[in-house]
Amino acid sequence: MSDLILGIDGGGTLCRAALADGTGAILGRGTSGPANILTDADGAARHIVEAARAALEQAGLGAADLFSIPVFLGLAGSTVPRAAQEIRARLPFARLALDSDGLVALEGALGPGDGSVAVIGTGTIYFIRQAGQMETVGGWGFVLGDLGGGARIGQAAMQEAILAHDGIRTPSALTSVLMAQFGGSPAAMVDFAHSARPADFAERAALVFDHAETGDSTALRVIRLSAHAIDEALDRLYAVAGPLPLCLVGGLADRYAPWIAERHRSRLRKPRGDGLAGAIALAQRHFVPGTGAAA
């Protein structure tokens, strides 16, 4: 049992866990539901344990081993002291280290060095590590932030479909496809939108990128404005950290690569791995003798 480690990457949509040996080789994986420690500490704790247990099970270990294997957790919201305290109190692990989802994303993408990572999925958040210090930009959620994220893209495209329906803007293939999803009824689209979660809007982001790639005028407007919002945030990272390595990660990272400004494209690095790989690497550094100093 010596030198087994668990890495956990917990976010607002999913919690993922991996069991590894002391060299970082993955022995088992597990996935469960949301681990939003800010809004639901009980649910987050339950999903963290569920994902960890599934990873142990895949490696042939029992639930009892959960209590002895050291764990590194990268959790959204962990920089809020109250949330970090609450989640620690609810977890069964004997030895655990807790840090942000940003740190594991950055470690996974770039390794232990300095650099920046843009996490572009349903929302958008940016992390910079400089001389070992982490800084966060963005990540404020759908209503006032997350510019360039999938939810804002989906919402903007649906808004364009309504404007096209009213004859205020020119319709396009994209606005027709979106309106057809609601039986051609703007009232049905508005009804949907009033109870939609960000993830529901974000489901339409891929469709918008698809249409932008074929030159659809509405999709081009939405994607160009979104890419401009990402560019502005990346300019901020550059102003803070200078020409450090930069990775785009998250569900929309690959879709955005051709749309962001050349000044940023030219310094993009392909990410080494994901946040779960980062959590395993950090678990190694923390808990396995001889693999580096604790962060």
Binding site for its own copies (CB under 8 A): 137-138, 140-141, 143-145, 147, 155, 158-159, 162-163, 166-169, 186, 189-190, 193-194, 196, 232-233, 235-236, 239-240
- CA 1, CA 26: separation in Å to the nearest integer? 14
Q: Give least dist CB 148 to its own copies, A.
A: 11
Q: Give least dist CB 53 to its own copies, A.
A: 32
Q: Give least dist CB 132 to its own copies, A.
A: 21
Q: Which one, of 17, 3, 11, lies nearest residue 277 by Cα?
A: 17
Q: Which is nearer to its own copies, 27 or 193 (CB)?
A: 193
Q: Which is nearer to its own copies, 59 or 177 (CB)?
A: 177
Q: Give least dist CB 239 to its own copies, A.
A: 7
Q: Which is nearer to its own copies, 108 or 123 (CB)?
A: 123
Q: Which is nearer to its own copies, 95 or 221 (CB)?
A: 221
232: its two tokens: 């502005």
Q: Which is nearer to its own copies, 77 or 271 (CB)?
A: 77
Q: C-alpha distances in angstroms, 109 versus 99, 112, 250, 273?
A: 16, 9, 11, 5
Q: Give least dist CB 143 to its own copies, A.
A: 4
Q: Give least dist CB 195 to its own copies, A.
A: 10
Q: C-alpha distances in angstroms, 245 versus 104, 139, 249?
A: 16, 20, 13
Q: Which is nearer to its own copies, 242 or 292 (CB)?
A: 242
